[in-house]
Structure formats: C-alpha cells, structure tokens
Chain A
C-alpha cells in the first residue's frame, strides 16, 4: 500500500538519530554473583558516573527523545541515588524500566512504583524452583525474587516483568515460569543466554542443547503471544517461521549500552574494547557517540554475511548475534554458535576456545559478595551446575527436512527491544 515505504527494518539498519531504547547499567555493584552475569558485576567501580553526571545523561536522552531506558547493573537499586535518578528521569519524560533481583522491592517501594505509569520493573529469575534458580544466582536469590513479586502484586502493580535467561536447566520449566507470572499478574520475558561477561565461562555448560532450542521454539510458537523475548530468539527463525520482533541485530543502530563509567558499547552483551564507541564524559556527550562514533557509523553500513549469505535461512537470522559469535571465538561474518542448522557447532569445533576474546573489565566479587549481600546470604562457590554432554553430531537431524542450507544463521538478541512489536499497521 502506498503508505508503506521501504521495509522498516531496512530503515533501522541504517540507524536512527537516537536509540529506540537503550540499556544503562548504573553500577557494577551487586549483592549477588550470578554465574552468567553479562556484565561481570560485583564490585562498584570507583569511576562510576556521579549523580550529576547521570542527570546530564538523562537531560541528553530527553533532548534526543529516547522514550525510555532499560536500567540494570549490577543491582541498580544499591546506588544510594537510584530513586533520585528514577524520579529525575520520569520528570524529564524518560521512562524507566529497571531490572532488579528484588533486593530493595519492599512493600513501600512497591506501592510507590505501582503509582507511576512511567516506571516498569523487571525481576530477574532464572529458575522456576529455588533449586534451579539458586544454582545460578546464589543461595536465597529465589526467595528474594519471590518476595519482590509478592510485594509488587500486593501493591497492585499489574504487568511487571519476570525476566528469565533460558539455560539448559530451565527450558523444561517454561510452563512453570508462565504459571508463576500468571500467579502474580506479571508478564513473562525470556531471553537468550549469551557468552558475555561471566557468561563466557559457563556458556558451554549452560546454553540450551539443540533439542532444547527446538523445544523452546515450539513453546514460543504455541505461547509466544503474551511472552516477551527482547527479540532474543530470532536465530530460531531458521526452524521455519519467524517469531515476533524486528529480527535484526540492533547493535549501534537502534540500541546500545551505557555502562556504569559512561562507556558506550554497541549492545549490552558486547562489553569489550572492540565494541566500545566512546564515553558520555566526552565533549559531545552521548549524542555525539551515538551519531558519529566510528564504530556505530561502521555498524550502520551494510554488513557482510560471509558464508552465511548463501544459506536459505539468512534472511531470517541475518547471520546471528555479533556478541555470541565474538565471545565464542567465531568470526563475525560466520555462523552464530547456536545456529539452528548446526553450522555454529561445526564452526565451534574448528576454533580454539582458549583463543576467544575475553570480556573487558571484570568487577566480580573477589571472594564473597560484600556486606550488601545480607539479604541473600553467602555466596555459592564454584559454578554448581552440572556439565552436560555437548550436543552430539546427531543433533543435525533436527533440521532434517529443511532445505539444504549451506551455512548458519543467527540472531540478534539485544534486550532493549523487549516488548516491541512491529505493528502490522500504522502504515
């Protein structure tokens, strides 16, 4: 129809004047030490942006008309000025969605949050049972999250988010997660495990098997209407049908990350110098980094899909997630490590995992978490997850019946697009 110009996704690939939404990790400090933390959080960075600097960033976001920011960390609520910054943002027409492990969501806080239409809350939960959750997130973390959810529900905060990173140990709990969300009047949000931050250390043991990926895809097709995914799983589109979402890597084009010290990265899962575009403390502030940094300008040029371009699934997956490839040692123009056609597995077998780039900056607790962990108790020691067998070659059978794709596929999964649906309409 005449109202439609070029496909919107094409427009997005060339970047926008401002991000649609961006992730802002306010602090590296955290009371927990989740084994798969994408930002290797734990200890506060002494160079963290001050309250005044944060407000200047918010002023810029208001000028750029960034509708809302996804605030995370670390555990953002441990910043003493957290509520001040939230109030400042909403007063300046920048909505806030913040992720928390539930630490500070008391009944009183929950009531305050429920009273604002400009604040959304996302509680992290990586197991539908304490056993599965606490193995990743630490002892007591399940109870902490549940307490926060109860407080939010009791305060009348309908539709808060429960955010789950899908792993080998919780794919089988999808229905149980949905039940928990329904119980609290919340909305389930599931995202992909990336080999970012400390996730690089546990990705091999925790990422879903090929069979589980299929299970996840089928579940999303059956239940996806009311489940958010942050566009996480479009690499699964190679199975045959696309899932809701933009189906593109938005890194540096429609999303980005501001880290606690003001560094701007292409996406929340790419904390590495290779994806560092600049710092908000620079003369031109965030806007200049977004609009003219060399890195982002480059990302907005047509990307090479490499061998993937000849795969029949390439249109769906676009070659996959940049960060997932990078931190598993795969070339950026090669297959995603979790390519549904199995090409990622083949590629992984051919690279030296020890040679994969390491995430920059490690703020992990040196030993036990600091005293801030009082609500959670002591830290779990080494990664208490069982190490499953790597998917066998036979897993390729899972794509039997598909056209003979030459190469992999992949997806992009930046969380900032969570909840956005491309309207079939409005043009």
Chain B
C-alpha cells in the first residue's frame, strides 16, 4: 500500500519507450504554475516539478495520445528538443508520476 519514498534519480532516457502509450498516474494531482507545474503523488507522497509549460502539455495529453512521441509532437516539441523531453518523461515514469497504458 504505502510506497516508501526513495530518492529520485535521473532515469536513463533510453529506457523510456516514446512509442508506447502512457498516462498520468491516477493518484497524481497536477497544479499548473507559472514555470510549468507541480505534481504530487498521493501514493508515494512525493512532489515533482515540471519545469516547462510544454512539458505540462505533454504530460496532460499523454492519455489522449496514442504514444508519448505523438504527445510531444502535438505539444510543438521539435526533434532537437525531444531527447530532453524523453529524459524528463523517463524520470516521471521512474517515480510513478506517469504510467503505461496497457489494455484499455
């Protein structure tokens, strides 16, 4: 039930599948802020920060897009920026802020 908070590490971007389906974890609340957003996971009791409004757009549109890559493209993220966003998404996945959509 209660997950222990572990130190947040920079997750390897290469392990994040941009072509899979993702969504925000159901226990995560999102609060938009000037710099991007604050995320709070009620299960792990951890706070995360999205440091750009574009990343917020990506994260909140994940569930509606077939893939994370599509969410990035639709948020206006170009090829040059994609690796940085993949890195950010990998970290969010590692801390359970976002999770994979399987069936359904």
Contact = CB atoms under 8 A, between A and B. Distances in A.
Interface string B67-104: 00000000000001100110110111011010000000
Contact of A424 (B1, B5, B10, B85): B10
B51 to A, nearest CB: 3
A93 interface: yes
A323 B88 CA distance: 36
Contacts of B48: 423, 425-426
B93 to A, nearest CB: 10
B91 A426 contact: yes
A420 B38 CA distance: 12
Nearest to B3: A159
A6 B51 CA distance: 9
Contacts of A118: 42
Among B3, B4, B47, B50, the one with the most A-chain Cβ atoms within 10 Å of its Cβ is: B47
Interface string B27-45: 1010101111011101101
Given A3-B81, A426-B88, A426-B92, A117 B52 contact: no
Among B1, B51, B80, B94, the one with the most A-chain Cβ atoms within 10 Å of its Cβ is: B51
A419 interface: yes
B9 A424 contact: yes
A158 interface: yes
Interface string A1-24: 111111010010000111010000
Contacts, number: 121
B30 to A, nearest CB: 8
Contacts of B94: 425
A342 interface: no
Contacts of A65: 29, 31
> Which secondary structure characterizes the binding site on chain A?
loop
A117 B47 contact: no
A285 interface: no
Contact of A3 (B5, B42, B88): B88
B86 to A, nearest CB: 10
Given A159-B2, A426-B51, A68 B40 contact: yes
Interface string A73-92: 00000000000000000000
A234 interface: no
Given A8-B51, A11-B34, A427 B4 contact: no
A3 B84 contact: yes
Among A1, A3, A16, A225, the one with the most B-chain Cβ atoms within 10 Å of its Cβ is: A3
A381 B50 CA distance: 51
Contacts of B81: 2-3
17 contacts: A3-B52, A11-B35, A18-B31, A65-B29, A67-B31, A93-B29, A118-B42, A159-B2, A419-B47, A420-B47, A421-B7, A421-B46, A423-B8, A424-B91, A425-B11, A425-B87, A427-B36
Interface of A: 1-6, 8, 11, 16-18, 20, 65, 67-68, 93, 95, 114, 117-118, 120, 156-159, 187, 225-226, 244, 419-427
